[in-house]
Structure 1
Amino acid sequence: METGGENEIWPDGGVMHGGTLGPISSPCTSATEFRFENFQLFQALRFALEEINKNAEILPNITLGFRAYDTCSLLQYDLEGALQMLTGLDRHIPNYRCLTGVPLSSIIGSSISANSALLASVLGIYKFPQISHFSASAILSDHIRFPSFFRTVPSDIFQSKGLAHLVVYFRWTWVGLVAADNDYGQLGVQLLLQEIVKAGACVAFSENILTSYPDRNAPHIVKTIKTSTAKVVIVYGTSLDLVPILNEMAKQNVTGKVLVANAGWSTSTVVSSEKFSALLSGTIGLAIQSGTIPGLKQFLNTINPSMSLGRAWTKIFWELTFNCRFISDKNETGSLDTNVKECSGSENLESLQNAYNDVSHLRPTYGMYTAVLVLANALRDLNNCKKGEGPFSKRLCNLLTIIFFSVLQLLYYIKNVRFRLNSGKEVYFDENGDPPAVYDIVNWQLSPSGDIKFVKVGSYDMAAPPGNIFTMNTSSIRWSSGETQVPMSVCSQRCQPGFWKAARRGEPVCCYDCVPCPQGEISNQTDSFTCIKCPWDMWPNPEKSSCLPKPIEYLSYEEPLGTTLACTSTISSLVPVIILKLFVHFKVTPIVKANNYSLSCLLLLSLSFCFLCSLMFIGSPKSENCLVRQAAFGMVFSLCVSCILAKTIMVVFAFMATKPDSNLKKWTSPWVSYMIISICLLLQLILCITWLSLEAPFPEQNIETQPRLIILQCNEGSPTAFWCMLGYLGLLATISFVVAFLARRLPDSFNEAKYITFSMLAFLSVWVSYIPASLSSQGKYTVAMEVFAILASSWAIVLCMFVPKCFIILFRPSMNSREYVMKKGQNMK
């Protein structure tokens, strides 16, 4: 007997009828086609009926009976059996009901969805109830096409969602699909494809098992599986569809693939044999929720070949189970081996453990048991209807009696049936004739003996609260070779934080390249589609996975460069003061008098301030610092260069005033030098005041120059004003240089012109070099460059103008005497 056998249940007015079996002589009634699981189904039907008939609370004084047909899982036998039961004779006559006596209440079956759909089309014409215990095709949920069809297993609509959820849970984004080319496989795989794409995964390939081909197209399918980069393959079909594929996989030595099973074969013992254990170890899939039936195991072990009910099937079962044969009757299994022992009929079933008496995880059997209870409870509700309280027209109940009732009335009660099983599970049907969708998640694991075990590792329950619909015990899963780590099946490796997924042209969305985030952007999640720009005051870490506060940069006193420049500036500022003290001490000496003592003192003071003004450029930029530092620098250096210019001009005037009839003698007065200094300072002062009045410098946070840093700096307000101020200094220095260069050979004992020439040449060289250096430097180094230019130009003046004089004063006092001056003057003449 196959799972697809139709079973007829009808009420009988107080008489218990034994089951009538037929047609036993069908071509599939042989040892090669005999399945222990299906024989268990038949016995579960008997057990359920005995339970119901013994329970006086369900149908008192009414006995249920049945007729069972072996359809060999063939469509023509399914249809023939259904029509024969409808006809009520030993032959089928379409459109005729010749049944007399007890009424036919419903048909249970088939387990094959395609067969159930055909039967439901025929039975739906008569509104005759049909309950399937294993047909799961989504097409059967169309209650307009199949108004009298019900089932005790969930629709594949929910199974497809569950399989897609399974794929997402294990983060498989690159999967292959293999499905049978019948309605069950094609509709199921279409629903699955929709759910997979909706979940964000991709299909690497989709192949059909061609049931009309002798080899089922297995070579091509297996070649595709073997060459594909997808490690996970979902097979949507039945165990019979899968066998040719597994044979070919073993032949081509396909390894490293994980098969995902739909409910059609996820717990099938047909493919879980030792032959395929290496291929199927680690398989995971959805299975119809298992259940237990108290007392069934004891009932299964009570059968024996002497029973008249289903004797032919029992004998085949007995011979296969105990590896014996019956001598007195026809040998049912056809064994010709004379060494096989004779069956006595008294062998003990309890000593064996096989697919027949294994009741630990009942699935199709539990569906069959539930289907019988559904029918019994519907008949009970129909029988218990009270006159005047019925659901039909004019609140009527059954128009006839429980012995002769309308199938339309029974159909109403089946639609509205609601009861609880011993396990606590509630049984009812929705508007499509489907029960609540509940699945077990099973994992195929190798036992120490080498057998395959179906281990429940989770559940998928659409009736559960939202957070508990999908539950999984990952630690109990064993993949191929006993591994516990989830295998990867992706077209492209996951993009780590710091990268984003760039789709490949012409390929599925699951195939992409991991591209680093652009500068200034991050991705803080795995498989990010875009990168996020960091806030203006933050910058990505080296991995570009998070934003960190940007370092704040300025020329600080605490850092080595700032400390060095500050110390140099301070120490350098003391040098002009020391020289000034030296000049004051030796102010009566010829060398000091000859070089304009008062201007030299003013110049030395201004040089000391030049060194000190560089300190205003070091440290955190503040509003007051930014406002005055460039102006102070300009004014101090203007004073310094103005003094040098005045000294140079006074040297020229002094030489020219010695000529006869010269009118320049009055221009050698000290007030002339002070006037020159004042005019030069006044022009710079006007420029600085205008600058500060119109576009004053201010502190700012610069993030443009170096995006990784926040540079605290002074915005000069008007770059034009800054370069004008600096250009004015250059103009004064240039004039001083030109005048001093022209006067370098004037006869004088202590002619300063040549020293001024060298000092201005060095001064101009420093500031001309500063211009490209400042434009090429960034951040604090721009400030450091200006400080260095200030120090260098100041030292150039000190070294070129005052060091030679100090050397004479300290180490050549003979040259600093009136006699030396007079002698040198005579030689010049």
Structure 2
Amino acid sequence: MEASSSAMLKKYQHVLSLAFAVQEINGNPKILPNITLGFHIYDSHFDAQITYQNTLNLLFNLMKTVLNYNCGSQKNPVAVIGGFDSETSLHVATILGIYKIPQSLVILFGLQEGEVLRAVEIPRDSVSGRELRWRIQMHRRVDRGRSLRSGERADISGKAVSDVTQLSSLYRMVPNEAHQYTGIVRLLLHFQWKWVGIMAMADDKGEKFVQTLEDKFSQHGICTAFTHRMPTQSNILGVVAFLDRFMNMTLFLSSTHVNVCVVSADTHMMLDLQVVLNLVERDMKPIGKVWVMTAHWDFSLEPFLQFLDIQVFHGTLSFAIHSTEVQGFPHFLQTQNPYSDTDGFIRVFWEQAFKCVFPTTIRKGSEGSCTGWEKLENLPGPFFEMSMTSQSYSIYNAVYAVAEALHARHSSRTRHGARDHEDHLKRLQSTAFQLHPFLRSVSFNNSAGDKVFFDEKGELVAGFDIINWITFPNKSFLRVKVGSLDPQAQSDGKFSINDRIIAWHSKFTQVKPLALCNDNCQPGYSRKRKEGKPFCCYDCASCPKGKISNQKDMDDCFNCPEDQYPNSGRNQCLPKKLNFLSYNETLGTSLVVLALSLSLITALVLGIFIKHRNTPIVKANNRNLTYTLLVSLLLCFLCSLLFIGQPQILNCQLRQTTFGVIFSVAVSSVLAKTITVVLAFMATKPGSKMRKWVGTRMANSVVFCCSLVQASICVVWLSTDPPFPDVDVQSVSEEIIMECNEGSAKMFYYILGYMGFLALVSFIVAFFARKLPDIFNEAKFITFSMLMFCTVWVSFVPTYLSTKGKNMVAVEVFSILASSAGLLGCIFSPKCYIIVLRPELNSKEQLKKRNK
């Protein structure tokens, strides 16, 4: 196996992960038995010309390159693992595609650029801040200039990467880029961060990052507080303006109140950001923000952390390609020493890592000389980590993917009867392009237990880990996995995060940071858009009467359910109270006591009249009518109890009809009494023909006929549209009125109207008969009682229509009791007075005297 990668020393762990994977495979008898894998590592120097040259050297010769001519080389490349730089990898793919050699790319979405500052060593205490910035800028300009001299342009690679799936020989050992954008949005929404900044490079790849995020943000209600594009520099004449832009960005970051910033964390972007943060540390107050980094970023990739207080990155949240700790890798690292033959970079790395040198003859113990006893685990984390990073894990999987594909092809040829192993190996070496079908369909579980396979586009099917970076003053750090994004999981398990274990920047005192344009609108308020401002900036308006909002930042208030009503703060719905005239409340109890008391009085009066039924005063005014009237009044008082209590089907159907019929009997009895008085006077005249009408038959006929009409109306009502229990949730905001719906309201008013008609006729007849000679002036008493009766029911109608709920029922009950009590008092109290208190007046002699 051949491998071409920009072997920068800060990426030395990637080289070791490659060597470790090859060593594991060669030592595993179950994969490619009797076949030993090897590798070569080439440095592209981030230069297109050198990349093309080394790719051709890889294919044809170690020395002078002659196209399509391979003589004396022991190299038999069947696959190439590219580097993290998208532009370099695509240059390699251009050549490899011609010769059908598969390339398994470890490339981060086509957004990451090369490691320009791969070997810069500037002691912080030896240069000033301004000189430091100048050296950084100059070194970056030189590398960019070299790329331009080779005829390459940044927008070419950006376009190529966006169309990377069109290269059939190219496989990506990273998940689809769209998943990371989705993860960023889900992360922001999880913490309700709606006001965030975006930072990226001012090139085509950075522009794509910004435009894609802004589009997704707008779809999910997230606003972009600012968008900063780090400047690129390729002209020495523009250095001053370049540094001015850095200074302006420094001033902005130190003054803005935006707490969350999403960064496209490729190498150049993070270099520029570190320059800005260094400027802040020297001249301004520290910046405390939540940095949300893309999966490009890793502390171990940053060369200038020695000049920066990395506490500024404490609490950073970053995405990382999903990785699992590989057993045996830490031990493999511990066994490395300057004399191991793992690769050809170990001595160069050793000198830079431990700041020592290897003289021609090593002088053991001499100051500044490498002893070979130095330990990798003693190196600070930002320079070298003992645990496998996600980038190294991708390289590890890439090696295994190629090995598994080779093994599948080898097994396939063996099953088809290869003559001998040597012939088969030669065919394997000469037809590397035949590896593609096996690489596309490769699927295996690596030693860490993760399943590795590609989708139809040649992209790794995997997810992301969400890492919380915890830094310490000694420039050490911890990676804490706090969440994950798994595109293959069910919808509710695709994104998960554990808030409780996240460490935030000290500025936020371990409280979840807020990222809003303004304070939240509290429950009871709704958002009101500010003119001329982004939709994330708004005012808060109190909910209108009758509506509530029970969450923060609601777009609109809403009505409570019908059985609930808003509280005073308009942020909660309270259950409505049931409203009906209950026996347990004071009003209901009072009416019950009053009805029973009047019933008892009526029964007592009836008893008195029955006891003295043979006395002249009882016999004088039609005894049967008197009994009928008293019984009907007694029932009127008792029927009022049907109106008290929770409405049910039976009492709803009975209360109005029973009241109507009984009251009609009572009023008909009064009318009959009045008519009896008139007829009795007319019958006393000589030769009068009215004598035949005087008697109980006529009086009973009047009562029966008048009551029959009312009963017929009630029967029609109950047969067509009877009353029924109902609830009214609209009339009173805080109560549910439990009532009897009258069904046909017309029939109810027919009953009242008919009773009013009978009362009016009785009043008129009694009024004209009030001065007729009557022993006990009953006509006069009936006139007063009918006047009271009509007054009560005339005032009842507007009062009834203007009230709701139990008050409306109480008005009707009171009207029944008052009108009935008026009849009882006006008609029977004078007679009871004579019967009980003046019995001497209740005699025939007194009647004769009164007549004279």
Deviation readout 1:507-556 (Å, 9 max, x if unpaired): 9998899998998999999989998996xxx8347689999999776555
User: Contact 1:286–1:439 at 8 Å: present in 2 too?
Assistant: yes
Aligned mates of 2:672, 2:845 — CA distance in 1: 28
| Correspondences of 1:768-807 after superposition (within 5 Å) | 768-807=794-833
Larger mean Cα displacement after TM superposition, 594-603 or 750-759: 594-603
Name 2:391's counterpart in structure 1. Answer: 364
Identity %: 32
Whether 2:505 is the aligned partner of 1:480: answer: yes
| Aligned residue identity for 2:318 | G
Deviation readout 1:707-739 (Å, 9 max, x if unpaired): 764735263x54434333322332332233334
CA shift in 2, pair 1:36/1:664, >3 Å = farther
Aligned mates of 2:342, 2:503 — CA distance in 1: 46
User: Contact 2:680–2:694 at 8 Å: present in 1 too?
Assistant: no
Whether 2:272 is the aligned partner of 1:275: answer: no
Deviation readout 1:55-94 (Å, 9 max, x if unpaired): 89858687835253251x455554454456557466778x
Aligned mates of 2:26, 2:844 — CA distance in 1: 149
User: Contact 1:47–1:296 at 8 Å: present in 2 too?
Assistant: no
Name 1:675's counterpart in structure 2. Answer: 698
User: Contact 2:661–2:710 at 8 Å: present in 1 too?
Assistant: no
Q: What is the deviation of 1:765?
A: 0.7
| Aligned residue identity for 2:563 | W
Larger mean Cα displacement after TM superposition, 117-126 or 51-60: 51-60
Name 1:114's counterpart in structure 2. Answer: 87
**Equivalent residue in structure 2 for 1:294, among 316, 328, 349:** 328
CA shift in 2, pair 1:461/1:728, >3 Å = closer
Aligned mates of 1:609, 1:296 — CA distance in 2: 100
| Aligned residue identity for 1:209 | R
Larger mean Cα displacement after TM superposition, 646-655 or 440-449: 646-655
Whether 2:484 is the aligned partner of 1:456: answer: no
Give the match's secondary structure for 2:600: helix
**Equivalent residue in structure 2 for 1:686, among 709, 727, 730:** 709
Name 1:711's counterpart in structure 2. Answer: 738
Name 2:239's counterpart in structure 1. Answer: none
**Equivalent residue in structure 2 for 1:698, among 717, 722, 726:** 722
**Equivalent residue in structure 2 for 1:37, among 3, 10, 14:** 10
CA shift in 2, pair 1:582/1:82, >3 Å = same
Deviation readout 1:108-134 (Å, 9 max, x if unpaired): 433112332343234323434434334
The TM-score normalised by the length of structure 1 is: 0.74
User: Contact 1:204–1:228 at 8 Å: present in 2 too?
Assistant: no
Q: What is the deviation of 1:365?
A: 3.3
Give the match's secondary structure for 1:259: strand
Whether 2:297 is the aligned partner of 1:262: answer: no
CA shift in 2, pair 1:655/1:242, >3 Å = same
Aligned mates of 1:308, 1:628 — CA distance in 2: 103
**Equivalent residue in structure 1 for 2:266, among 235, 238, 247:** 238
CA shift in 2, pair 1:790/1:221, >3 Å = farther
Q: What is the deviation of 1:617?
A: 3.9
CA shift in 2, pair 1:531/1:127, >3 Å = farther
**Equivalent residue in structure 2 for 1:565, among 583, 588, 591:** 591
User: Contact 2:563–2:729 at 8 Å: present in 1 too?
Assistant: no
Whether 2:631 is the aligned partner of 1:612: answer: no
Deviation readout 1:426-451 (Å, 9 max, x if unpaired): 55545444334243331111347564
Name 1:29's counterpart in structure 2. Answer: none
Cα RMSD, aligned residues only: 5.5
Name 1:335's counterpart in structure 2. Answer: none
CA shift in 2, pair 1:494/1:527, >3 Å = farther
| Aligned residue identity for 1:113 | S
Deviation readout 1:582-632 (Å, 9 max, x if unpaired): 445666777667666665454334333332333444456666655555444
User: Contact 1:461–1:470 at 8 Å: present in 2 too?
Assistant: yes
**Equivalent residue in structure 1 for 2:177, among 156, 163, 170:** 156
Name 1:179's counterpart in structure 2. Answer: 200
CA shift in 2, pair 1:52/1:814, >3 Å = closer
- Structure 1 residues not aligned, in runs of 5+: 1-6, 11-20, 23-33, 330-340
CA shift in 2, pair 1:347/1:786, >3 Å = same
User: Contact 1:180–1:210 at 8 Å: present in 2 too?
Assistant: yes
Whether 2:74 is the aligned partner of 1:102: answer: yes
CA shift in 2, pair 1:162/1:552, >3 Å = closer
Aligned mates of 1:326, 1:256 — CA distance in 2: 43
Q: What is the deviation of 1:796?
A: 1.1
Name 2:663's counterpart in structure 1. Answer: 637
Aligned mates of 1:162, 1:279 — CA distance in 2: 23
Aligned mates of 1:515, 1:97 — CA distance in 2: 81
User: Contact 2:548–2:557 at 8 Å: present in 1 too?
Assistant: no
| Correspondences of 1:478-627 after superposition (within 5 Å) | 478-481=503-506, 486-487=512-513, 489=515, 539-540=563-564, 555=581, 557=583, 560-583=586-609, 599-618=625-644
**Equivalent residue in structure 2 for 1:147, among 168, 171, 177:** 168
Q: What is the deviation of 1:675?
A: 1.8
Name 2:224's counterpart in structure 1. Answer: 204
User: Contact 1:305–1:345 at 8 Å: present in 2 too?
Assistant: no
User: Contact 1:399–1:405 at 8 Å: present in 2 too?
Assistant: no
Name 1:759's counterpart in structure 2. Answer: 785
Aligned mates of 1:664, 1:257 — CA distance in 2: 119
Whether 2:42 is the aligned partner of 1:68: answer: yes
The TM-score normalised by the length of structure 2 is: 0.72
User: Contact 2:196–2:262 at 8 Å: present in 1 too?
Assistant: yes
User: Contact 1:461–1:469 at 8 Å: present in 2 too?
Assistant: yes
CA shift in 2, pair 1:276/1:186, >3 Å = farther
Aligned mates of 1:630, 1:9 — CA distance in 2: 99
Q: What is the deviation of 1:692?
A: 0.8
Aligned mates of 1:444, 1:591 — CA distance in 2: 109
CA shift in 2, pair 1:732/1:41, >3 Å = closer
CA shift in 2, pair 1:813/1:734, >3 Å = same
User: Contact 1:398–1:405 at 8 Å: present in 2 too?
Assistant: no
Q: What is the deviation of 1:794?
A: 1.3
Deviation readout 1:473-527 (Å, 9 max, x if unpaired): 5443222338666545567999999999999999999889999899899999998
Matched residue count: 774
**Equivalent residue in structure 1 for 2:757, among 688, 712, 731:** 731
